[in-house]
Amino acid sequence: MTLEGKSVAILIAPRGTEEPEFSKPKQAIEEAGGKVTVVSFEAGVARTVNSDLDEGGSYPIDKTFSEVKADDFDGLVVPGGTVGADKLRGSAEAIGFIRAFFDQKKPVAAICHAPWTLIEAGVVEGRNLTSYPTLKVDIENAGGTWTNEEVVVDNGLVTSRDPDDLPAFCAKLVEEIAARD
């Protein structure tokens, strides 16, 4: 499966985004031939975390939310991390950017706590998805159907529960982005 000619945005919240949930999808997209743009709140370098508490790697930020629009991309990846997802859902710019992908019916992949951002964006109602188990009631209260599966795909939305699901998550997000014209 190739992503040649495809451009994908991946979000990062400094000192909050979970390392493997950021680095593994980024690597999968690049290995499939896609171009990745790292998007965050401000320019510079962002550090990820491991298990929400330990320092992860450092990654250059390519663009800020004010410099991008969904029109520029073929898909979006929203990594988890409890703190990272909370920072993203608290940003009107981030939520507007995420919502625009749904408005344009473009693929979106969200793992672990990242579905919090989808709830905030108002795009969960009527959808099937999964997440870290503690988000189950949040998703159901937002009108979504939660299932305990390693990966759930619903009309271009790819969701997974946690880092253990990354192989299936990465394969499905590449497949969904590749399938879109």
Q: What is the DSSP string of 2-16?
A: --TT-EEEEE--TTT
Is the distance from CB of 73 to CB of 105 less than 8 angstroms? no
- Catalytic residue flag (residue 113): yes
Single out the catalytic residue among 24, 26, 99, 113.
113
Q: Name 139's Cβ contacts closer than 8 Å, sequence gap at least 6.
A: 115, 119, 124, 129, 131, 145, 146
Q: CA nearest 10: which of 2, 1, 23, 20?
A: 23
Tokens 């919502």 correspond to: 99
> How far apart (Å, rounded) are the C-alpha atoms in residues 103 and 174?
20
Q: Which of 83, 112, 129, 139 is catalytic?
A: 112
Say which amino acid occupies 9: A
- CB contact at 8 A, 140 and 42: no
Question: Which residues are the active-site residues?
Answer: 112-113
